[in-house]
Amino acid sequence: MRKAFIALIVIQLFVMTAAGVRAQDEAKAVKDINLRFQVLLYRLYELSNMNLPKGTNAANGMWRDKVSGDPKLENLYKFPITGLTGDAAKLAEVFGVFYAGTYKAFTDNPNLDATWAGKGSIYRTALGQAGEKVYGISFNILQSAGGDEAENKKFATEARNSARALIRTIDKNGPASSGAFANKRIAVSVYNAAHQALQKLDQLFAGDFSGPGGPGAKVMRQVFAEITTIPTVLEGPWLSPAWQLQFQYVCLTGSIVMEKVSPPENK
């Protein structure tokens, strides 16, 4: 009887240990996917911020070129994501949908060399509105991770002020009348990627964010939702600077918040 009791305890300990190892492995896998998403967003932000629109009516073609030729972004999904289970598998699938669609938006839509004689005031109005929308975009993404609302409002205000400063820089260039600038199909393609990723996330998580991937999934969901609110079409041949600006701040805020919610590795 004593031997049977000891054997039962050993079996229970083994099951508990195995479950603990699986939980640690899943948390580590979740952190890996969160990190990939964070890197993707930050790199998109960084390259945009380094290549601001050259005119009030044309997003920078160099931004498109840098993204499509960036080795960090190209290799981000090449590392195998196999054998995952639970929330890690769900996050990996969602990330794959968004990454593939967004990366292709830049690689498959080359810059457009064109001329334009429209009204620059239309684009300037949209650009000004975009700067003010940065507050709501940033605040909503910050709130998706919880935290102190007052601090979130403070950060969102700083983001809006930063966007206003960038707009003043862009304003100095005035509208472009000709040249090779970013293709406006990028906006439509990124919208589609975000929309598809949002649908996939809702399908896989079904509103249950209680697992280890829940915090990251909620942030991802808000990032995708904010992207789908950015207007994709204005008259003229090129991608709107207003779109580039708003997308840039979605990526910046999303990358910051993903770092906050990523689960710590067990030492």
**Which tens digit of pLDDT belongs to each residue from 105-123?**
999 999 999 988 777 677 7
Q: Which two tokens stand for residue 3?
A: 């031997």
The alpha carbon torsion through 233, 36, 61, 231 (nearest 10 deg) reads: 10
Q: Write out the two tokens for 250.
A: 């979605």
- The total domain count for the chain is 1
pTM here is 0.88
Residue 267 lies in a domain: no
Domain containing residue 37: 2-261
CA nearest to 98, candidates 216, 257, 215, 184: 216
* Position 266 in a domain: no
User: What confidence tier does 180 reach under pLDDT thresholds 50, 70, 90?
Assistant: very high
Q: Helices H, strands E: what count in the chain?
A: 9, 2
Q: Would you state the pLDDT for residue 54?
A: 86
- Mean pLDDT, rounded, of the chain: 87
20 within domain boundaries: yes
